[in-house]
């Protein structure tokens, strides 16, 4: 059997994989023992990559919907018809009428987002959307606002770790491994989470009311400043706005934070002291949850400020700067701004290189209401928004108005079922491409590997770069799509990076492409307007938002909206990760389904008792927006009054419960957590 060293593209961890291939068939996968990150291990879903590849859900050929039913069509005809329709829409409504969307795998599959952006540039639409506009970009943005660059957590050297709304055992198991190793070596662990996760049992645990973390962070600053525990030299030399911060946090006493968050004042004080006096300390904030609620961006800012005033920036074990591999930029210039540019200036206008994505909530709204202009064409790839878009009702209403809806995916998905055309893409196991550089999520390692083709493309599936290129050529944009093979594409991407494909082939387990530098600020000042870490951001204020973060109540909390709470007294969390599945994928793999057969709503016994619910019973979870049926998981390990439902389950789609009008007004992110809900006992 041949062993091909590649990486797992199922999630952003990009674990090293030994793929065992016999007669062109993938037989099994194992972790690469010498891989720096996963050290021979794969998570349960990573172990099932052959099931992903040979899934019965795979699309075998392009299909077109005729009279409500899918019919086989050739690639040539499909791309020809799609190209002609796109041209017609462009002539009728202008280029901006096309919205393109890539999913979470568009983050892991560099080619997917890059070629999507290439095409949209050639076509001329500004409207490209990606989960970074609903997922983790605010953490990057908050750090860029504060530091001018994006320092990344380095828990492997930390002596104090705060898991703030993060449960890595399920979502980033290698981070969980690193945290456990540090705890074993004597590091202090603090977990702040409404759910008492298994890893939290290794240290101090705070259980806040969801959506109140900003108040806790500000009260920690209050303690640190009042007790003189801040890093005076670092703050004086490298930050601006400390005086204003000092004034601002005076009102955030631990007692006030207790009233807001329900975490005892003495616990907040204790945690503040430990965090400020145990060096180096590292906040590992949640990737999604800490962004996806009313006060997401400002809460992220508060964590940045906590790291800064304790001098935990650009030192080993804190948040550090790590080189990024400079891959070729495929983007073409675009004249118009994307949807959301004016409405959400922090997201779109803050820095010199703002995120290239539009605001997702505005995309669906423009499909539905045709305001500010109609979105009539929609091409989605590597995503399943029918399940994952945080407001299913709005998504379904929006796509009804589309004149062209194309879904590109290896599988027939819930979203594909709604499309006019479905095009079969390869999985990452069937193409050579840019592989793992899991930068940006607690791994400050300048390490990259080539993702290798493990088997030939199955059925009529094609690599995503080829699909966009062929569509581009059909539409007369051939000059922008000169590449003819996976290798040519990879060569082009690496041409600007200092790493070559040859080098990566010679080192199939991956290579270091640069060296991490601590105290970078000694050489290169923080690239903010002031050249220092901005505890107070003048630019944020200029754009109409507070320059120092404060606590903002979730829109539907008992404080902000007591009327709604009379009818919907519990607090909803959606989308806590489950190690068996990745977003809406892998539910059809029997071995994984056997491990976790059902979608379950976690509720505390006190909450269950209030409604007369027993463990394992089917219940309805309802919000003003909708209702789903789901099995009750009655557990001590969640705060009373909080209901946590996973996302990605077709049979209990939590996005039916969400309302894309509830936003973090600073970032434009749709609220997926801290929403009012209630439980309904179902008649037997
Ligand atoms: N296995 C698996 N891994 C995944 C994914 C997957 O679907 N499956 N998805 C990937 C993606 S797309 C993303 S964005 C990341 C998500 O990664 P994370 O956002 O880090 O998700 P979790 O690790 O589930 O941690 C979220 C934790 O935040 C807690 N929480 C919720 N609300 C609050 C709050 O208001 N305050 C505090 N303090 N805590 C809160 C939840 O109880 C939960 O324990 O995971 C990635 N990894
Ligand atoms: N309520 C709620 N909603 C959420 C979240 C939440 O926490 N709560 N989380 C949000 C977040 S953070 C994210 S990132 C999104 C994720 O949302 P999505 O990105 O829509 O999630 P997936 O289910 O991972 O969709 C990936 C799709 O890509 C396909 N695919 C897999 N490999 C390949 C490939 O190699 N090529 C191509 N072309 N396609 C491939 C899969 O078959 C699958 O259909 O969900 C968001 N939605
Ligand atoms: S953690 Fe992610 S990258 Fe690693 S094996 Fe699991 S799915 Fe693959
Ligand atoms: Mo995400």
Q: Are strands 281-285 and 160-164 parallel, antiparallel or unpaired?
A: parallel
How far apart (Å, rounded) are the C-alpha atoms in residues 365 and 392?
12
The answer on pLDDT for 669 being more than 90 is yes
| pLDDT at residue 439, rounded to an integer | 60
Residues 629 and 599 placed together within one structural domain of the fold: yes
Residues 293 and 161 placed together within one structural domain of the fold: yes
Rounded average pLDDT over 338-350: 95
| pLDDT at residue 615, rounded to an integer | 98
Question: From ligand 3's centre to the CA of 97, what distance in Å?
Answer: 36
How far apart (Å, rounded) are the C-alpha atoms in residues 301 and 248?
14
Instruction: Give the confidence band of 604 by pLDDT, cuts at 50, 70, 90.
Output: very high
Rounded average pLDDT over 616-632: 98
Residues 531 and 582 placed together within one structural domain of the fold: no
How crowded is the C-beta side of 623, counted as CA atoms within 13 Å? 27
Has residue 413 been placed in a domain?
yes
Question: From ligand 2's centre to the CA of 432, what distance in Å?
Answer: 21
Strand order in the sheet with 16-22: 2-7, 16-22, 25-31
Do the beta carbons of residue 160 and residue 188 sit within 8 Å?
A: yes
Residue 171 CA: nearest ligand 1 atom is 3
Do the beta carbons of residue 637 and residue 606 sit within 8 Å?
A: no
Mean pLDDT lowest for which of 3-17, 306-320, 622-636? Answer: 3-17
Tokens representing 669? Answer: 């992110």
Q: What angle do CA 608, 610, 616 make, to 5 degrees?
A: 20
Question: Which residue, 176, 220, 172, 228, is CA-closest to 202?
Answer: 176
Looking at every residue in the chain, the average pLDDT score rounds to 95
Rounded average pLDDT over 434-451: 78
Residues 223 and 100 placed together within one structural domain of the fold: no
Has residue 554 been placed in a domain?
no
The answer on pLDDT for 108 being more than 80 is no
How far apart (Å, rounded) are the C-alpha atoms in residues 427 and 328?
22
Instruction: Give the confidence band of 442 by pLDDT, cuts at 50, 70, 90.
Output: low
Residues 442 and 360 placed together within one structural domain of the fold: yes
Residue 13 CA: nearest ligand 3 atom is 3
Please state at what angle helix 110-123 crosses helix 486-494, rounded to 10 degrees.
Answer: 90
pLDDT in tens, 199-221: 999 999 999 999 999 999 999 99
| pLDDT at residue 17, rounded to an integer | 97
- Contact 8 CB / ligand 3 (< 6 Å): yes
Question: Which residue, 407, 403, 340, 423, is CA-closest to 91?
Answer: 403
Has residue 209 been placed in a domain?
yes
Is the pTM of the predicted complex or chain greater than 0.85? yes
Whichever domain contains 663, its CATH number is: 2.40.40.20
| pLDDT at residue 571, rounded to an integer | 98
pLDDT in tens, 48-71: 999 999 999 999 999 999 999 999
What is the C-alpha R_g of the chain? 24
Residues in CB range of 298: below 8 A, 6 or more apart: 142, 214, 546, 549, 550, 552, 666
Rounded average pLDDT over 551-572: 97
Do the beta carbons of residue 47 and residue 173 sit within 8 Å?
A: no
For ligand 2, residues with CB inside 6 Å are 103-105, 109, 112, 131, 134-135, 288, 381-385, 388, 390, 408-411, 413, 425, 427-428, 464, 574-575, 582-585, 647-648, 654-655, 658, 672
- Contact 104 CB / ligand 3 (< 6 Å): no
- Nearest Cα residue to atom 2 of ligand 3: 11
Question: From ligand 1's centre to the CA of 98, what distance in Å?
Answer: 31
Neighbours of 501 (CB within 10 A): 19
Residues 291 and 417 placed together within one structural domain of the fold: no
Among 471, 491, 512, the domain-final residue is 512
Residue 197 CA: nearest ligand 1 atom is 44
3-state secondary structure of 284: strand
Instruction: Give the confidence band of 438 by pLDDT, cuts at 50, 70, 90.
Output: low
| pLDDT at residue 467, rounded to an integer | 98
Residues 586 and 632 placed together within one structural domain of the fold: yes
Whichever domain contains 282, its CATH number is: 3.40.228.10
Has residue 550 been placed in a domain?
no
Instruction: Give the confidence band of 436 by pLDDT, cuts at 50, 70, 90.
Output: confident
Residues 463 and 476 placed together within one structural domain of the fold: yes
pLDDT-above-90 percentage for the chain: 90
Domain count, the chain: 4
Tokens representing 205? Answer: 């645990």
Instruction: Give the ligand with the smallest distance to the CA of 441.
Output: 1
Question: From ligand 4's centre to the CA of 651, what distance in Å?
Answer: 21
Residue span of the structural domain in which 279 resides: 152-320+522-542
Instruction: Give the confidence band of 106 by pLDDT, cuts at 50, 70, 90.
Output: low
Has residue 555 been placed in a domain?
no
3-state secondary structure of 162: strand
Question: From ligand 1's centre to the CA of 471, what distance in Å?
Answer: 36
3-state secondary structure of 188: strand
pLDDT in tens, 285-337: 998 888 999 999 999 999 999 999 999 999 999 999 988 888 999 999 999 99
- Contact 45 CB / ligand 3 (< 6 Å): yes
Residue 166 CA: nearest ligand 1 atom is 25
Which helix (H) or strand (E) segment holds residue 52: the answer is: helix 49-53
Where would I find the H helices in 521-639? 538-542, 562-567, 590-595, 605-611
The answer on pLDDT for 122 being more than 90 is yes
The answer on pLDDT for 281 being more than 90 is yes
Has residue 145 been placed in a domain?
no
Residue 44 CA: nearest ligand 3 atom is 6
| pLDDT at residue 555, rounded to an integer | 97
Mean pLDDT lowest for which of 33-37, 524-528, 652-656, 673-677? Answer: 33-37
Cα-Cα-Cα-Cα torsion 379, 384, 386, 389, nearest 10 degrees, comes to -90
Question: From ligand 3's centre to the CA of 218, what distance in Å?
Answer: 35
Residues 191 and 206 placed together within one structural domain of the fold: yes
Question: Which residue, 137, 81, 130, 181, is CA-closest to 475?
Answer: 81
How far apart (Å, rounded) are the C-alpha atoms in residues 252 and 258?
10
The answer on pLDDT for 632 being more than 70 is yes
Rounded average pLDDT over 475-481: 98
- DSSP conformation letters of 209-251: PTT-HHHHHHHHHHHHHHTT-S-HHHHHHHEE-HHHHHHHHTT
The answer on pLDDT for 684 being more than 80 is no
| pLDDT at residue 484, rounded to an integer | 97
The answer on pLDDT for 358 being more than 90 is yes
Do the beta carbons of residue 125 and residue 101 sit within 8 Å?
A: no
Question: Which residue, 318, 298, 316, 317, is CA-closest to 307?
Answer: 318
Mean pLDDT lowest for which of 345-359, 365-379, 472-486? Answer: 345-359
How far apart (Å, rounded) are the C-alpha atoms in residues 328 and 612?
59
Whichever domain contains 33, its CATH number is: 3.30.200.210
pLDDT in tens, 220-235: 999 999 999 999 999 9
Has residue 342 been placed in a domain?
yes
Cis peptide leading into residue 476 (ω within 30°): no
How far apart (Å, rounded) are the C-alpha atoms in residues 395 and 126?
20
Residues 275 and 364 placed together within one structural domain of the fold: no
| pLDDT at residue 608, rounded to an integer | 98
**Ranges assigned E (strand) in 53-106:** 63-66, 69-72, 98-102
Residues 168 and 181 placed together within one structural domain of the fold: yes
Residues in CB range of 367: below 8 A, 6 or more apart: 99, 374, 375, 378, 397, 398, 399, 401, 402
How far apart (Å, rounded) are the C-alpha atoms in residues 108 and 436?
8
Whichever domain contains 97, its CATH number is: 3.40.50.740
The answer on pLDDT for 165 being more than 70 is yes
Residues 70 and 130 placed together within one structural domain of the fold: yes
Instruction: Give the confidence band of 107 by pLDDT, cuts at 50, 70, 90.
Output: low
Count the helix, strand and coil residues of the chain and give each as a percent rounded to the nearest 5: 35, 20, 45
Candidate of 205, 286, 302 to mutate for ligand 1, largest count of ligand atoms within 8 Å of Cβ: 286
Has residue 269 been placed in a domain?
yes
Do the beta carbons of residue 571 and residue 680 sit within 8 Å?
A: no
How far apart (Å, rounded) are the C-alpha atoms in residues 342 and 54?
45
How far apart (Å, rounded) are the C-alpha atoms in residues 138 and 570?
26
| pLDDT at residue 325, rounded to an integer | 85
| pLDDT at residue 36, rounded to an integer | 87
| pLDDT at residue 324, rounded to an integer | 84
| pLDDT at residue 441, rounded to an integer | 67
Do the beta carbons of residue 370 and residue 400 sit within 8 Å?
A: no
């Amino acid at each position: 059997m041949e062993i091909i060293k590649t990486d797992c593209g199922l999630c952003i961890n990009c674990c090293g994989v030994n793929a065992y291939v016999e007669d062109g068939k993938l037989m099994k996968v194992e972790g690469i023992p010498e891989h720096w990150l996963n050290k021979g291990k794969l998570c349960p879903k990573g172990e099932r990559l052959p099931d992903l590849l040979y899934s019965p859900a795979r699309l075998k050929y392009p299909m077109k919907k005729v009279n409500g039913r899918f019919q086989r069509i050739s690639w040539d005809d499909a791309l020809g018809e799609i190209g002609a329709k796109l041209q017609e829409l462009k002539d009728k409504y202008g280029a901006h009428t096309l919205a393109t969307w890539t999913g979470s795998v568009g983050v892991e599959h560099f080619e997917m987002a890059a070629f999507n952006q290439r095409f949209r540039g050639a076509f001329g639409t500004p409207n490209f959307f990606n989960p970074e506009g609903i997922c983790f970009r605010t953490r990057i943005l908050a750090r860029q606002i504060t530091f001018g660059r994006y320092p990344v957590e380095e828990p492997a050297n930390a002596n104090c770790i705060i898991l703030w709304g993060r449960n890595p055992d399920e979502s980033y198991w290698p981070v969980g491994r690193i945290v456990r190793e540090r705890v074993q070596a004597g590091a202090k662990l603090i977990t702040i989470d409404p759910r008492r996760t298994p890893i939290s049992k290794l240290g101090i645990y705070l259980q806040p009311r969801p959506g109140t973390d900003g108040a806790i962070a500000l009260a920690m600053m209050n303690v640190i400043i009042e007790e003189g525990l801040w890093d005076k030299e670092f703050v004086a030399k490298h930050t601006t706005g400390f005086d204003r911060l000092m004034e601002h946090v005076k009102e955030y006493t631990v007692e006030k934070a207790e009233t807001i968050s329900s975490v005892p004042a003495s616990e907040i004080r204790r945690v503040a002291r430990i965090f400020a006096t145990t060096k180096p300390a590292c906040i590992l904030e949640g990737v999604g949850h800490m962004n996806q609620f009313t006060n997401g961006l400002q809460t992220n800012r508060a964590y940045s400020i906590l790291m800064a005033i304790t001098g935990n920036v650009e030192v080993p074990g804190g948040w550090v700067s790590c080189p990024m591999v400079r891959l070729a930029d495929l983007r073409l210039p675009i004249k118009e701004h994307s949807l959301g540019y004016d409405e959400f200036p922090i997201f779109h206008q803050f820095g010199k290189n703002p995120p290239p994505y539009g605001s997702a909530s505005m995309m669906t709204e423009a499909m539905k209401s045709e305001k500010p202009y109609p979105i009539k064409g929609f091409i989605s790839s590597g995503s399943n928004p029918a399940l994952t878009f945080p407001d299913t009702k709005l998504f379904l209403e929006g796509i009804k108005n589309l004149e062209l809806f194309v879904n590109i995916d290896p599988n027939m998905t819930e979203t594909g079922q709604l499309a006019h055309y479905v095009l079969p893409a390869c999985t990452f196991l069937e193409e050579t491409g840019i592989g793992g550089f899991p930068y940006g999520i607690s791994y400050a390692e300048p390490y990259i590997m080539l993702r290798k083709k493990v088997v030939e493309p199955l059925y009529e599936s094609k690599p995503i770069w080829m699909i966009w290129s062929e569509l581009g050529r059909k539409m007369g944009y051939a000059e922008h799509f000169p590449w003819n093979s996976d290798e040519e594409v990879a060569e082009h991407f690496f041409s600007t990076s200092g790493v070559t494909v040859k080098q990566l082939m010679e080192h199939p387990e991956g290579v270091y492409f640069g060296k991490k530098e601590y105290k970078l600020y000694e050489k290169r000042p923080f690239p903010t307007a002031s050249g220092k870490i901005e505890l107070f951001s003048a630019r944020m204020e200029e754009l109409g938002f507070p320059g120092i973060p404060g606590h903002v109540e979730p829109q539907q909390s008992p404080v902000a909206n007591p009327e709604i709470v009379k009818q919907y007294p519990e607090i909803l969390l959606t989308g806590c990760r489950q190690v068996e599945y990745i977003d809406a994928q892998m539910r059809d793999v029997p071995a994984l389904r056997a491990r976790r057969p059902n979608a379950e709503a976690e509720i505390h016994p006190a909450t269950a008792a209030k409604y007369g619910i027993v463990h394992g019973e089917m219940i309805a979870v309802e919000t003003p927006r909708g209702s789903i049926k789901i099995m009750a998981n009655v557990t001590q390990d969640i705060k009373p009054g909080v209901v946590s439902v996973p996302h990605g389950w077709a049979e209990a789609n939590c996005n039916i419960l969400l309302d894309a009008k509830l936003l973090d007004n600073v970032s434009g992110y749709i609220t997926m957590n801290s929403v009012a809900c209630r439980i309904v006992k179902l008649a037997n």
